[in-house]
Chains A and B, each alone.
Chain A
């Protein structure tokens, strides 16, 4: 779920919800998805009144093309959602609703989860979606030969075994309690493949995986589009879908249009009815002319990890000083406008369940405090350039970042602003852009290779804290701990939070963990990763983004004039 190359989002339930039912329910759910913003210029309620039509093709301009349909990258979650069903779906901030699993229960010791499956569901190749099929998927995801790294990041440490009790009863055994399990399962990475298709050679699985979802892959014209056709017998929609039957449209044309100007132009000229990722310069027009669905990515927000194992950030005073020295709120507003929000909490984004809002202003811009802290830390003299020094060495940190991938053009503007601000307190920041090869190659990701690095991790649960902040130990490495901050107490707190089902106790523990990360200034919160759709409502209605990853859902959508 890590989503380095692309944004994601979360909440746009408004359209669906309104349609789904009465005002009471709507009010309830809206409260539930509070933090994750969804904006729609047109009232969604008229969709409820309008009657869906059948037929036609949805023309959708997406941005990035994944190497294979399914996998562990957010781009793969997006596209997987069209083809696969999952066990459960998530609504708003953490409410779980039935999908393939109609009911579930967990044993007292929280080690055995039992799922009742919807009977009679078939994959599009004819295989039955039964308990054996679900088990085959878990086996596949965690087999070292075919491992899905994102699935493993969530449940690898917890998973013990699984078995088919009978055709419609699936049982999961865990090694230790894991309360975020259902949230994790709601993500597209956990989409269920037909058992026969899992035995196909890798090249076939890559381009033509088989699911039971609302669409079937007809053809992938690499470099251009994936052509989906509707699954005419679809009968296994999640409870939160408005349309419980087969998709209204005949086809879905999912195109890859990387260039922002081209993508936007394809919407304004009517070539496409819906596009992904509104370019930041076009936000105003998008809001005025189109329906905008904005998804504020839950999970780890875009944060600056500070490498606590080497100077200068091995000194907590220097870490705090940098946080105080940066007017992050103003800088984020300047750089992004509507395209992202400031997120001061360095541990969780504001759309995540169990997010602690009290940490939002833990380090409000205060250059005096920054100067005082740096003086205390011994960086009290300055060189000719106005940079602080200690023992003759200048106070300098290298921030490396994935240019054009983790950090887009707006993000780079932000970093440059922060660089200027740091200079005001005599802190020299060097910005080092990394190419994709450098970024993915690992040689720039070691404890000695950088001082600070921005990054994020899209996740529908605070359980992501365990992925990001678990210690990085010799026998149990964790490369996702990009601050290299090893804190047994923190790991224990998060582990306890992940193992309790009591909501209040869980909130207290997750808050404690977030506070610890913030107090230690092991990372500095920057902004929420945001993704968006712009939809031409004169042509297309009822597209929404589900809430685990911001996966676009097209099975409810219908064309005004098919």
Chain B
């Protein structure tokens, strides 16, 4: 899956140019096929890994229903094996699974007894809200910091880049607990748990956004400073453009390209970070669902969530491609 995603990423401009020269319908077809390929690979990989891991699935189901951790007798296992078809060969099970997928049926969670589509549709809202707010916040923080401090004297610049280095390495769990204790428990500016509105989103989103902002800031700053040395910047200044104008209109446009590319990847990282944030702030969301499902070897649910994540990746990378053309019109003209 990750290879396919990498191939989709328009990192080297040459490749991007090449691809841009493909005819439009062909390009769309390739896109759709590769997206389907990613989804199929994600589903298949998850299915087989979850199926062949040690530990009996029927035993897991019975033990979890009763809170016990024991070996089960054949008589106890038989009805479960029959109900879920665990006695069939792996190939048969995979066949059933793929048939269901093609018909849009993601199956029913072993553990939660609900259709996987129901669970996902209930949980995807809070997760998307969290990850996209975090992404937006990370962009705002990193751009503001870069524009305000890059090449603005040694002190401002090194304080800001020091901030970026430190925050980029912060673990989500640690940062989340610190924000929780300081701003929710001590200062009581925000709810401690379960806030559903905007106020409840602030700390969880910041927990994810701060490390990402540090990371995006590092790459943006480097590119930004390099751009400020370009001749066209000097000529813009010579035309009498203000410093802020030069920074925002010219330098920033160049500097954000690598950060845009990274944002496609960042969505995935945010999703895994969401697991921790959901735990600390007691939020609903797919992260915890996935963790619980994976430890229960709840194959339909795990596969459903993994495919969804793959889909988000694919879409995010399509958007990244499109944004590339918007930010750097030369790519579009080449087509």
From B91-99, B161-169, B176-184, give the one contacting chain A: B176-184
Q: Within the complex, what minimum Cβ distance (angstroms) separates A377 from chain B? A: 28
**Residues B289 and A479 in contact, CB atoms below 8 Å apart:** no
Q: Complex: how many Å from CA A105 to CA B66?
A: 30
Question: Are B111 and A67 closer than 8 Å at their CB atoms?
Answer: yes
With A442-B59, A445-B69, A455-B69 already in contact, the answer to whether A224 and B192 are too (CB < 8 A) is: no
Question: Taking the complex as formed, is B222 at the interface, i.e. its CB lies under 8 A from any CB of chain A?
Answer: no
Q: Residues of A contacting B281 with CB < 8 Å?
A: 262
* B53 interfacial by beta-carbon distance below 8 Å: yes
Can you name the residue of chain B whose Cβ is closest to the Cβ of A144? B79
The B57-116 residues at the A interface (CB cut-off 8 A) are 59-60, 62-73, 79, 108, 111-115
Q: Which residue of A lies closest to B297 (CB)?
A: A437
Q: A4-B69, A223-B289 in contact; A269/B282 too (CB < 8 A)?
A: no
**From residue A368, how far is it (CB to closest CB) to chain B in Å?**
36
User: In the complex, how many residues of chain B place their beta carbon closer than 8 angstroms to a beta carbon of chain A?
Assistant: 54
State whether A442 and B70 are in contact (beta carbons under 8 Å apart), knowing that A71-B65, A203-B114 are contacts in the complex: yes
A194-233 interface (Cβ within 8 A of B):
202-203, 205-207, 221-225
A281 at the binding interface (Cβ < 8 Å): no
Cβ contact of B67, chosen from A2, A221, A224, A225, cutoff 8 A: A2
Contact indicator A437/B53 (Cβ below 8 Å): yes
For chain A, the count of residues having a C-beta within 8 Å of the partner chain is 61
Taking a contact as CB atoms under 8 Å apart, the answer to whether B192 and A439 are in contact is: no
Nearest-Cβ distance from residue A291 to partner chain B, whole angstroms: 20
A259 touching B280, Cβ below 8 Å: yes
Q: Is the C-beta of B288 less than 8 angstroms from some C-beta in chain A? A: yes
B265 to chain A, nearest CB (A): 26
- A67-B112, A223-B278, A436-B296 given as contacts; is B69 within 8 A of A402 (CB)? yes
What residues of chain A lie closer than 8 Å to B289, measured between beta carbons?
A: 222-223
Q: Is residue A277 contacting chain B, with contact meaning CB distance below 8 A? A: no
Q: Contact check, B69 vs A261: say whether CB atoms are below 8 A apart.
A: no
| B185 lies within 8 A of chain A by Cβ | yes
Is B318 interfacial (CB-CB < 8 Å)?
A: no
**A150 & B55 in contact (Cβ 8 Å cutoff):** no
- A441 touching B114 in the complex, CB below 8 Å, given contacts A222-B119, A224-B283, A265-B181: no
A203 vs B282: C-alpha distance in the bound complex, in angstroms?
24
User: How far does the Cβ of B292 sit from chain A's closest Cβ, in whole Å?
Assistant: 8
Q: How far is the CA of A67 from the CA of B295 in the complex (A)?
A: 13
- CB of B56 within 8 A of CB of A442, answer yes
Q: Does A388 contact B (CB under 8 A)?
A: no
CB-based contact B70/A480 at 8 Å: yes
Interface membership of A544, Cβ < 8 A: no
Given A206-B112, A224-B283, also A271-B193 (CB < 8 A): yes
Would you list which residues of chain A between 389 and 410 have a CB under 8 Å from chain B? 402, 406
Interface status of B231 (Cβ within 8 A of chain A): no
Cβ contacts B180-199/A at 8 Å (1 or 0 each): 11001100100111100000
With contact pairs A67-B111, A437-B295, A441-B297 given, residues A4 and B67 touching in the complex (Cβ less than 8 Å): yes
Q: Is B284 part of the binding interface, using a Cβ–Cβ cutoff of 8 Å? A: yes
Decide if A145 touches B67 in the complex (CB within 8 Å): no
User: Is B285 part of the contact surface with A, judged by Cβ < 8 Å?
Assistant: yes
Residues A265 and B180 in contact in the complex (CB < 8 Å), given A223-B284, A257-B282: yes
Q: Which residues of B contact A1 (CB under 8 A)?
A: 67
B56 touches A441 (CB 8 A): yes
The CA-CA distance from A137 to B127 in the complex, in Å, is 39
Is A3 interfacial (CB-CB < 8 Å)?
yes
Chain B: CB-nearest residue to A220: B122
**Chain B positions 269 through 303: 1 when the CB is less than 8 Å from some CB of chain A, otherwise 0:** 00000000011111111001100001111000000
B54 within 8 Å of A (CB atoms): yes
- What are 9 inter-chain pairs, A to B, with CB distance below 8 A? A61-B282, A223-B285, A223-B289, A255-B193, A257-B282, A261-B177, A269-B184, A441-B59, A479-B72
The residues of B with any CB-CB pair to A shorter than 8 Å are 53-56, 59-60, 62-73, 79, 108, 111-115, 118-119, 122-123, 126, 177, 180-181, 184-185, 188, 191-194, 278-285, 288-289, 294-297
CB-based closest 5 A-B pairs: A441-B55, A479-B70, A149-B66, A223-B284, A73-B67
Besides A262-B280, A455-B69, 19 new A-B residue pairs in contact (Cβ under 8 A), listed by A number: A67-B64, A67-B111, A68-B112, A149-B62, A203-B113, A205-B113, A221-B284, A222-B284, A223-B126, A223-B288, A224-B194, A255-B193, A263-B193, A269-B184, A271-B191, A438-B54, A442-B71, A445-B69, A446-B71
